[in-house]
Structures are given as C-alpha cells and as structure tokens.
C-alpha cells in the first residue's frame, strides 16, 4: 500500500502540537513535509527482478556483511545491521547483487527482525530453487538502545535455514562458520 503523504504530513503536524511544539515556528515549518518525504523513501518497495543463469556450480555462494536498515513495527524506530546470505545453487546461479536487493525489498517495510530473516530466505529459495538457503541477520534496534532498557551495542541475531542447511548438520556448520566475522 503506498504511503499517504498528506496523511503523514497531517499526523506529523498533530504530533508536534501534542509534544508541545509550535509547528509554525521557523525550524519546524517544513518538518511535516520532510517527514512525509522521508517515510515515502523509507517504505518505497521496488519489485526485484531476479536474473539467474544456468551454471553447473553446486558449491556454496556466500555474501557477507550486507548493510541494511529497517523500521521496527512496534515503535517506528530504526534497526540497522548486517545480513549474511548463502545458497547452494541447483543448476542456476543468481546475480549476487540480487541477494542484496531481495534483502532491501523486505527491509523497506515496517518489520520485525525475525520475519525479515524468514522472508528473505523464503524469497531466495523460491527465486533460485536452491538446494539450501541460509540468512543470518545481526542488528541493533534503537527501540532497545535509545529507550526502554537503553542498552547500546546489544545485537540481535536471527537465522533462517532452508533445505540442506536446515537438514544437514555438516552443511549447517560450514555455512555458520563462513558467515562468522573473521
């Protein structure tokens, strides 16, 4: 569903008033428009075209440390981190930039990290027909670092393992070792 820019502007103006601010003062005059533009950008989901190529590669492909940001659906605050994505091709390889694009596609929604991890793994599995897919996400949540318990530096790690990475202990150990920071 597209972002209702005017609705975001009106809500931002109302929030400023509710916070005891004067939305007509110089520093805040354009804030509702800026906030609306920002949310349109944050939540702009583009379709991902997944290009694949026939290839006899049957070894693991790993892309580590893909930076991303998303927004917690519980507090509307950002969480940011790195994703590690691995797959074992099954006769088709995918352009590796598409792995990052799939991550971005799902991160550009109000999210929870657990769902994001699973959505990325499922989308890659569906797009590639891979023998196995692993997605590991490490993120810092500002809803935990800026408010509430206020624990900066705490990192949440989630994983989604599909196919051989789920079913085979040796493959799971290998992918987890390759995704660890060295």
- Residues 15, 37 share a domain: yes
Which pTM was predicted? 0.92
166 counts as catalytic: no
Distance between CA atoms of 156 and 110, rounded to whole angstroms? 17
In a domain, 47, yes or no: no
- Average pLDDT of the chain is 93
User: pLDDT at residue 51 above 80?
Assistant: no
* pLDDT at 182 (0 to 100): 55
- pLDDT score at 53: 80
- Tell me if residue 84 is catalytic: no
Catalytic residue among 30, 55, 73, 114: 73
Q: Are 70 and 116 in contact (CB under 8 A)?
A: yes
Q: Does the pLDDT at position 104 exceed 70?
A: yes
Q: Domain range spanning residue 119?
A: 52-179
CB 139 within 8 A of CB 79: yes
How much is the pLDDT for 67? Answer: 98
Q: How many CB atoms lie within 10 A of CB 116?
A: 23
The catalytic residue among 111, 113, 119, 125 is 113
CATH code of 100's domain: 3.30.1130.10
My answer on whether 23 and 66 are in the same domain is no
pLDDT of 13 higher than 60:
yes
Burial of 162 (0-12, 13-18, 19+ CB in 10 A): buried
| Structure confidence at residue 63 (pLDDT) | 96
């Amino acid at each position: 569903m597209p972002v209702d820019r005017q609705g975001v502007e009106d809500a931002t103006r109302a929030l400023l008033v509710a916070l005891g601010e004067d939305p007509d003062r110089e520093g805040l005059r354009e804030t509702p428009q800026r906030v609306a533009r920002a949310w349109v950008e944050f939540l702009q989901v583009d379709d991902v075209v997944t290009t694949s190529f026939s290839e006899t590669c049957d070894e693991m492909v790993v892309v580590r440390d893909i930076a991303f940001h998303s927004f917690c659906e519980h507090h509307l605050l950002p969480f940011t981190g790195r994703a590690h994505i691995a797959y074992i091709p099954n006769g088709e390889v995918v352009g590796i930039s598409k792995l990052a694009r799939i991550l971005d596609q799902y991160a550009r929604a109000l999210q929870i990290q657990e769902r994001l991890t699973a959505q990325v793994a499922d989308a890659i599995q569906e797009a590639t027909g891979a023998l196995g897919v692993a997605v590991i996400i490490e993120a810092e949540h500002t809803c935990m670092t800026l408010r509430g318990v206020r624990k900066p530096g705490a990192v949440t790690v989630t994983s989604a393992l599909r196919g051989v990475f789920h079913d085979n202990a040796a493959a799971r150990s290998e992918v987890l070792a390759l995704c660890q920071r060295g």
